[in-house]
Amino acid sequence: MARAGAARVIAVHRSSSHSFSKFAEDAITLVPGLGVQGDAHAGTTVQHRSRVARDPSQPNLRQVHLLHAELFDELIARDFAVWPGEMGENITTRGVDLLALPAGTRLHIGGIAVVEVTGLRNPCSQIDRFQRGLMAATLDRDAAGNLVRKAGVMAVVLAGGNVQAGDAIRIELREGRQRPLEPV
């Protein structure tokens, strides 16, 4: 899932508006049970507009969006001009296979921050409005024909703290039966 010592944060982002892309920051502050301080998606209940319209009382399982920089490498090789923050993530990582993590995995980021992975980000039509064809490029099929969503993972904040580029990421798997990630 990660080479020893290789998993790290390469960029952090937030936006106080419900825009698709987020702005690069020197650091972001994670707040337990809420998400990224000052981000439009922070809250104990759902903040994504489509989910609020369906049921505003749902718990917010999408407090923090993490996306692997390796996806940007892949997209750039396919002639998409897309950079960290532009796909709406709060934390861009390198050196950890986010999509292979089981649900409930805890990521210790930097000195004290801890997030728990809740599920996959389900790519939506906003991706194609950002760049035509990008949504299809963030979807794939595995050897068995199952849909693979590559647009990152969502998490909730368990322990707060500041997160910045260069911070190490330590992976803590849950004991017992591992559940694969599903869209949240």
Residue 41 lies in a domain: yes
The tens digit of pLDDT for each residue in 86-123 reads 999 999 999 999 999 999 999 999 989 999 999 999 88
Structural domains in the chain (count): 1
pTM: 0.95
Q: In what order do the strands lie in the sheet with 8-14?
A: 23-25, 8-14, 91-94, 64-68, 153-159, 113-120, 106-109, 169-172
pLDDT tens sequence across 5-49: 599 999 999 999 998 899 999 999 999 999 999 999 999 999 987
User: Using an 8 Å Cβ cutoff, are 137 and 53 in contact?
Assistant: no
CATH (domain of 127): 2.40.33.20
| Residue 1 resides in a domain | no
Q: Is residue 57 domain-resident?
A: yes
Segments forming the whole domain that contains residue 65: 8-172
Asked if the structure places residue 133 within a domain, the reply is yes
In a domain, 179, yes or no: no
Structural domain contains residue 16: yes
